[in-house]
Structure 1
Amino acid sequence: MEKQYKTIGEDAWKNNVEKVNAELFIFTYGSLVVQLVKDYEDYAAVNKQLDKMGYNIGVRLVDDIMARTSLERCSGFTATAEVISKVGFKLFLNVAPSVASWSADGKEFSLIVDDNPLNDFCELPPKAVQDGLWYSNVLCGVIRGALEMMQMQTEVEFVRDVLRGDDTSEIRVRLLRMLDEEVPASDD
């Protein structure tokens, strides 16, 4: 199944995505983070804003992924992890993090991001590292928002980041509960 998702992600990247100049995207994101730091002057608040922005993006990305790939709803959390890694990340960032460190109950996993494009051309000041800035925290929000649209309430957080001196970047995804599908209120 993993190879199938990898192929779907690569095909979608090659054929169904309008490409944006990577450097422009990276510098624009960096400018956004710098502006948030200036506006909030508190790294915890910046992390929260990045997560919130990512969540709003993730809510909309699910439909885009479905439209571009013709994927059907995932059969379980394991398949969902593979789709996030091999299709979602590939489609939008042209990277495919590895899925690792599953919990015994199958409700937690890590995405190991060896090459995070958002980190290119970036170096965090020591104070930002010390005070807890997670520069790419927008990715956590994107994952959380996308999974919520798939009826999965999750907790998503960075646990390691190369910009903070770690050897790799790791995002931890924890399934809290499956959400009930709600029928929209009628227009009567």
Structure 2
Amino acid sequence: MSRQANRATDSKKMNSELFTLTYGALVTQLCKDYENDEEVNKQLDKMGYNIGVRLIEDFLARSSIGRCQDFRETADVIAKVAFKMYLGITPSVTNWSPAGDEFSLILENNPLVDFVELPDNHSTLIYSNLLCGVLRGALEMVQMAVDVKFAQDTLRGDSVTEIRMKFIKRIEENLPAGDE
């Protein structure tokens, strides 16, 4: 029985490492295909957004979590459920703005950057920008417009990775006339 438990753990670790290496190959190819880091950052965000738009359905089905009542509850679900489910980590939620419309996700360990060093000629590359797009796309599908960006990054010498999220507005569902 313990051999099966070890296989499951080994399988998860192997899947995580395969994802990390595959993601690294994707970023490398984007760096070759585009002129500058800013364009690569945009492409990573766009790809992440498209993933988030589709991933939210899987998340809602697997987690059986209902609609969050406010942005604080949304932050907790993102950190304690979504990141744990898909990346195997639990970031801390900190640095709330006084208005309660902005917070930081602090990742002590970002699995996307395992085995990664940024070359000197890519100092403005936001390597994990895919995560910002995923969060933005997923939240948009549950009627929340947010701004998501990296504030700190261990690849740039910071002690932690910090993703800053700001609530912009609740998106009203616009049903076509007659479909109400």
Same fold (TM over 0.5): yes
Structure 2: state its 5+ residue gaps.
1-7
User: Among residues 51, 60, 65, which one is paired with 1:57 in the alignment?
Assistant: 51
Query: Aligned with 1:158: secondary structure?
Result: strand
Offset at residue 179 of structure 1 (A): 0.7
TM-score scaled to structure 2, two decimals?
0.89
Q: How does 1:132-151 map to 2 (within 5 A)?
A: 132-151=124-143
Q: 1:122-171 deviations in whole A, cap 9, x for unaligned?
A: 00012212xx1110000000000011111111110001000011010000
User: Among residues 127, 136, 161, which one is paired with 1:169 in the alignment?
Assistant: 161
What residue identity is the alignment partner of 1:26?
Answer: T
Matched, 1:40 2:34: yes
Offset at residue 100 of structure 1 (A): 0.4
Distance 2:89 2:177 in 1: 39
Query: Aligned with 1:170: secondary structure?
Result: strand
Structure 1: state its 5+ residue gaps.
1-13
Distance 2:176 2:90 in 1: 35
Offset at residue 185 of structure 1 (A): 6.8
Aligned to 1:152: 144
Aligned to 1:73: 67
How many residue pairs align between the two structures? 169
Distance 1:185 1:23 in 2: 49
Residue identity (%):
57
TM-score scaled to structure 1, two decimals?
0.86
User: Among residues 82, 85, 93, which one is paired with 2:79 in the alignment?
Assistant: 85
Distance 1:123 1:166 in 2: 13
